[in-house]
Structure 1
Amino acid sequence: MSALVTLAHGSRHPGADVATLSFQAGAKAVAYLDFSEDTLAAVAKRLQEHLVVVPLLFSNAFHARFDAPQAAREAEAFAPITLARPLGMGQDIIAALPEPQATPVLFHVGSKRSTEAQALAQHLGWLEVAATQGGVAELRALSSTHPRLHVIPLFVTDGLLLAQAREADYPGEVIFDQPLGTKLSPIIRARFEEAV
């Protein structure tokens, strides 16, 4: 028998709790890459059974290519680990995105160089802003040329970058959607089942 564990980046934001969506997906535990003592190694030591780990990451950037595999290698000292595919930006994620109510902006946590986010936004016909690199300034600039923006966060939960963007002043009307949250639960479950 294999236990599902989700692996989140972690955040200092008080609303960045992935437990609800993880447990809704059937996860036995939640582990974090940063900002928490619940590392994957700590969870593996506590559970001591075969773990299928689903990284709650959208892009195939540094965290997915290096941090998650490194965390899995460290955790293997305590339990067998199977690292599942991360969330990604495929059709199942597209289906979870809300219907835009104004000019849509894909607001993502990846780098401005994220070709995956650029390709997704282009496929959808949306604008694209990287939250991590001047995201608020870019949203302000877009708001000055578009009367109504609908910002759709490609976020698992709330986080500091999303909070900063929500609290900023804009020249035009800017509507912020919620992070994907529990909409991701069936996708997490599918990643788990695919891995086992």
Structure 2
Amino acid sequence: MSRAIIVLGHGSRHPLAEHTVARIAAAVDGEYAMLDFSAHTLTNAAMLLAARGSRQAAVVPLLFTDAYHLNHDVPEAAAEAQEASGVDLQVTPGLGTGAEMERLLGQVIGDLQDARPQRFTNIALYAVGSSTPGANDSVRDLAARVGARAVFATGAAPKGVAALEGFDAVIPLFVAEGVLWDSVVRAGLPAVLGEPLGERVAGIVRRRAEQPGPVAVGREHVA
């Protein structure tokens, strides 16, 4: 019997963020949960699966970098949910910044470009930013591979909406709507703005869930 899927979002105060994560979960025939700002916790999702007879589930974090949330918050939430529900929760790698995300962003940029008469010459990939060593570098590398430059909302430079001046396109490295991306939209930049990835990540989520074996079980994280 195949294991169930729980799509795990970071959580946001934005009113649409949870709905987007729910749509991603529906696209892969799974459940969804949020780390923060929601009553729909990982424990609640696991309890729901247990009530339906599931004994094992893949938890797919909607996170791009191997940073604090993936290494600490996610394993801790999985440990609590597993203990409460009795469901064997196997945490997979996040969405990542590898070849799959490179292809997906290439499609996003291509679709945005197809609707414009002039070629983009200066593209920004706008990401949250992290204090974990190496995390921002992985985003910079991803941006370079899709012909863009990384700009961060917090932490590392260049950062903030002001750093987006001069770009002719801005692509969000965000899965769902959120207050950080809203600040870009409200800024009235002359750049063409992309949209959060949303259900476009469903294929990556499904492949993560199909990978054999756990990456993190309970409180033990294996790099």
TM-score by length of 2: 0.78
Equivalent position of 1:42 in the other structure = 44
Q: How many residue pairs get matched?
A: 187
Residue 39 (structure 1) shift? 1.1
Deviation at 1:46, TM superposition (A): 2.3
Structure 1 Cα separation of the partners of residues 128 and 212 of structure 2: 25
Tell me the equivalent position of 1:179. 196
RMSD of aligned alpha carbons: 1.7
- Structure 2 segments unaligned to the other structure (5+ residues): 114-119, 214-223
Does the aligned pair in 2 maintain the 1:52–1:195 contact within 8 Å? no
Q: Counterpart of 1:51 in 2: which secondary structure?
A: strand
| Cα distance in 2, alignment partners of residues 45 and 158 from structure 1 | 27
Pairing of 1:47-196 with structure 2 (within 5 A):
47-48=49-50, 49=54, 50-77=56-83, 78=85, 79-97=87-105, 98-99=108-109, 101=113, 102=120, 103-111=122-130, 114-133=136-155, 134-139=159-164, 143=165, 146=166, 148-170=167-189, 173-195=190-212
Distance 1:7 1:99 in 2: 26
| Deviation digits for residues 121-159 of structure 1 (CA, Å, limit 9, x no counterpart) | 2333311111234421222xxx2xx3x520001111111
Asked if 1 retains the 8 angstrom alpha-carbon contact of 2:10 and 2:36, the reply is yes
Secondary structure of the 1:99 match is helix
Q: Conserved in 1, the CA contact under 8 Å of 2:13 and 2:179? A: yes
Distance 1:30 1:154 in 2: 20
Letter in 2 for 1:64: L
1:92·1:187 contact (CA, 8 Å) conserved in 2?
yes
Letter in 1 for 2:177: D
2:126·2:173 contact (CA, 8 Å) conserved in 1? yes
